Amino acid sequence: MMDIYREEILDHARNPRNRGKVADPTFEFHASNPLCGDTLDLQIKMQGKPPKVSEIAFQANACTVSVAAASMLTEKVKGMTEKELAELDEKDVISWFGGSLTTSRTECALLPLKALRDALKGGEEK
Amino acid sequence: MLDVQKIRRDFPILHRKVHGKPLVYLDNAATTQKPRPVIDAVSKYYEEYNANVHRGIHTLAEEATAAYEDARQRVAQFIGARNPAEIIFTRGTTEAINLAAYSWGEKFLKKGDTILLTLMEHHSNLVPWQLLAQRKGLNLEFIPVTAEGYLEDPEGMIRRLQPKLVAFAHVSNVLGTVNPVQKLAKVSHEVGATVLVDGAQAVSHLPVNVADLDCDFYAFSSHKMMGPTGVGVLWGRAKILKEMPPFLSGGEMIREVFLRESSFKDVPYKFEAGTPSIAQVIGLGAAVDYLSELGIENIRRYEEGLLEYAFKKLEAIPGLTIYGPRNSGDRGGVIAFNVAGIHPHDLATVLDQDGVAIRSGNHCAMPLHAHFKINASARASFAFYNTAAEVDVLTESIEGAKKVFKV
């Protein structure tokens, strides 16, 4: 099967890492994909000096691509500073799918990263 | 009886391959493919008589105007409109409904009036009325949908709510339900309501005769009936259209213009401001000829048979849920479904690898999906050039997707 549904991706979609909620989040955002009505809630807790991601979790009602991307993204960003989070590149996320994403499915893959960026921008800063 | 193999040769695109597999195009509710005569009519206009309409005196302008007006006549005849002036060319169904909302709605509805819609409307027959209701302080009410996908007691609701406007889809773009236009128009008129029908999913699939349906407005799109994109139609009763103010304004629609006021042409030109989609209208005329030659009754009979076959094949797949009426006689060529454990987007991506084009998402009907408590669905939608063999490819591909996702 194509790269987009290779075993690693399917595993992340079936057994998402960091699924759930964070108590007392520093940032959070509710994102939706207008193409399909999928939704994703992302919560981040920053702690320490300088503040770094100590906890991150998401809840999604979404497709394999969005859920797998959220699972992989949340794994990757633990321990990052706010500056490092802001510098995350869309190209990295897209590369996880081996360059097999069409334009419409790229939207699915980027939903978690967009949620993260909107959260940082003060979507729902607490 | 339709000779489908012969028909397929008329559609150049049906011979292309997608990911190395023959294209199986099952997204006809989104847009249909175009037969050679439509493509040729558009090219011929550009190659031989491209000119603006209703303006010039020269030969090309005369020819273009004649072809444009000829298309209007053929469209009128195709939907049983007595008067070609009742055919207003718009950009599509969405613009046609907006025209009715802005022009008729602004003039004839007043604060406290009720608009009755249904829960199965495409956003294009919902949002224009929402905005109108917000502007004018109108009530919006909705006829509910039963678990089987039929309207629930529509006549009772019309009698009870006494709306000023009843607007609904002829055929639902998700459930496929064919709504009883004639029956609802009769009750609506009894309570003094005006009736607008969204015919986008009906026109190339069912016989449509606006005189028999007895509605007041009927809106549809060229590109869902084998014609080009960029053109649609609002049919309205001449008597009502004449009383309506212009919607868009500018060139083409005026009689005399002074610096501080203007007078307008009669229908339909009053509603066709600016240079219209000339090539596309001419292409729509060719599409109407093509459909008429095949015969809408023949098309309907063939599509019903195909739908019945698709039902049997899809129902045999464990974990697959179909939405909407089971009786193919009550359905247009649309089957929305879900496969347990596979998101519709993922299903569409896997099917695409097999050359099968379906739609996934909420099909511009979010409230209906919310009603069925789903985010999204997959949708296979048929046209008369689809075959039973293509349905087999669809079902085999769905079985393949189940293996990929281990469900």
> Is A83 part of any domain?
yes
Of the candidates A2, A10, A108, the beta carbon closest to that of B345 is on: A108
Q: Tokens in use for A102?
A: 């069409």
Q: Do the interacting molecules here have an ipTM over 0.85?
A: no
How many CB pairs (< 8 A) connect A and B? 50
- What integer pLDDT is reported at residue B67 of this predicted model? 97
**How many separate domains does chain A show?**
1
Q: Distance (Å, rounded) from C-alpha B100 to C-alpha B129?
A: 10
Region for residue A82 given its phi and psi (left: phi exceeds 0; alpha: psi -120 to 50; beta: otherwise): alpha
Are B346 and A65 a contacting pair at CB < 8 A? yes
Nearest-Cα distance to chain B for A117, in Å, is 24
Instruction: Identify the residue whose tokens are 């990263």.
Output: A113
> Is A107 part of any domain?
yes
- Percent of chain B residues past pLDDT 70, beyond the cut: 100
Q: Tokens in use for B258?
A: 């002074």
Q: What is the 3-state secondary structure (H, E, C) of chain B?
A: CCCHHHHHHCCHHHHCEECCEECEECECCCCCCCCHHHHHHHHHHHHHCCCCCCCCCCHHHHHHHHHHHHHHHHHHHHCCCCCHHHEEEECCHHHHHHHHHHHHHHHHCCCCCEEEEECCCCHHHCHHHHHHHHHHCCEEEEECECCCCCECCHHHHHHHHCCCEEEEECECCCCCEECCHHHHHHHHHHCCCEEEEECCCCCCCCCCCHHHHCCCEEEEEHHHCCCCCCCEEEEECHHHHHHCCCCCCCCCCEEEECCCCEEECCCCHHHCCCCCCHHHHHHHHHHHHHHHHHCHHHHHHHHHHHHHHHHHHHHCCCCEEEECCCCHHHECCEEEEEECCECHHHHHHHHHHCCEECEEECCCCHHHHHHCCCCCEEEEECCCCCCHHHHHHHHHHHHHHHHHCCC
Q: Which residues lie below 8 Å from residue B77, measured CB to CB, with a gap of 6+?
A: none
Nearest-Cα distance to chain B for A11, in Å, is 10
Nearest Cα to B151, choosing from B179, B126, B181, B124? B179
Chain A residues in contact with B369 by the CB 8 A cut-off are 37
> Is A116 part of any domain?
yes
Cβ-contact B377, B323 below 8 angstroms = yes
Long-range contacts of B156-162 (CB under 8 A, 24+ apart): B157/B116, B158/B116, B158/B184, B158/B187, B158/B188, B158/B191, B158/B193, B159/B187, B159/B190, B159/B191, B161/B114, B161/B116, B162/B114, B162/B191, B162/B192, B162/B193
- What integer pLDDT is reported at residue A3 of this predicted model? 77
- List the beta bridge partners of residue B194: B165
Residues of chain A with pLDDT under 70: 1-2, 123-126
Q: Which residues lie below 8 Å from residue B217, measured CB to CB, with a gap of 6+?
A: B100, B104, B194, B195, B196, B197, B234, B235, B236, B237, B240
Q: Going residue by residue through chain B, which has 407 residues, state the pLDDT in tens, using 9 for 90 and above.
A: 899 999 999 999 999 999 999 999 999 999 999 999 999 999 999 999 999 998 888 999 999 999 999 999 999 999 999 999 999 999 999 999 999 999 999 999 999 999 999 999 999 999 999 999 999 999 999 999 999 999 999 999 999 999 999 999 999 999 999 999 999 999 999 999 999 999 999 999 999 999 999 999 999 999 999 999 999 999 999 999 999 999 999 888 888 889 999 999 999 999 999 999 999 999 999 999 999 999 999 999 999 999 999 999 999 999 999 999 999 899 999 999 999 999 999 999 999 999 999 999 888 898 999 899 888 999 999 999 999 999 999 999 999 999 999 99
In a mutagenesis test of the B interface, which of A64, A100, A108 is the best target, namely the one with the most B β-carbons within 10 Å?
A64
> CA of A101: which chain B residue's CA is closest?
B349
Show which residues of B are catalytic: 364
CATH 3.40.109.10 fits B4-30+296-404, yes or no: no
Are A37 and B350 a contacting pair at CB < 8 A? no
> Is A51 part of any domain?
yes
> Is A28 part of any domain?
yes
> Is A125 part of any domain?
no
Q: Tokens in use for B298?
A: 């023949």
For residue A62, give the CATH number of its domain: 3.90.1010.10
> Burial level of B302, CB count in 10 A (0-12/13-18/19+)?
buried
pLDDT digits (tens, 9 = 90+) for B38-52: 999 999 999 999 999
Of the candidates B344, B369, B404, the beta carbon closest to that of A1 is on: B404
- Percent of chain A residues past pLDDT 90, beyond the cut: 74
> Is A126 part of any domain?
no
Cβ-contact B333, B307 below 8 angstroms = yes
Cβ-contact A15, B406 below 8 angstroms = no
Buried b / exposed e along B117-139 (16+ C-beta atoms within 10 A): bbbbbbebbbbbbeebbeeeebe
- Residue ranges per domain, chain B? 4-30+296-404, 39-293
Cβ-contact B32, B226 below 8 angstroms = yes
Nearest-Cα distance to chain B for A10, in Å, is 7
- B39-293: CATH number: 3.40.640.10
Are A105 and B345 a contacting pair at CB < 8 A? yes
pLDDT digits (tens, 9 = 90+) for B231-261: 999 999 999 999 999 999 988 888 888 999 9
Q: Which residues lie below 8 Å from residue B259, measured CB to CB, with a gap of 6+?
A: none
> Is A88 part of any domain?
yes
Of the candidates B349, B361, B405, the beta carbon closest to that of A36 is on: B361
Residue A61's domain comprises 3-120
Q: What are phi and psi of A6, to 5 degrees?
A: -70, 165
In a mutagenesis test of the B interface, which of A36, A61, A103, A106 is the best target, namely the one with the most B β-carbons within 10 Å?
A36
Residues in chain A whose Cβ is within 8 Å of chain B: 1-2, 4-5, 10, 35-39, 61-65, 102, 104-105, 108
Q: Distance (Å, rounded) from C-alpha A30 to C-alpha B137?
A: 31
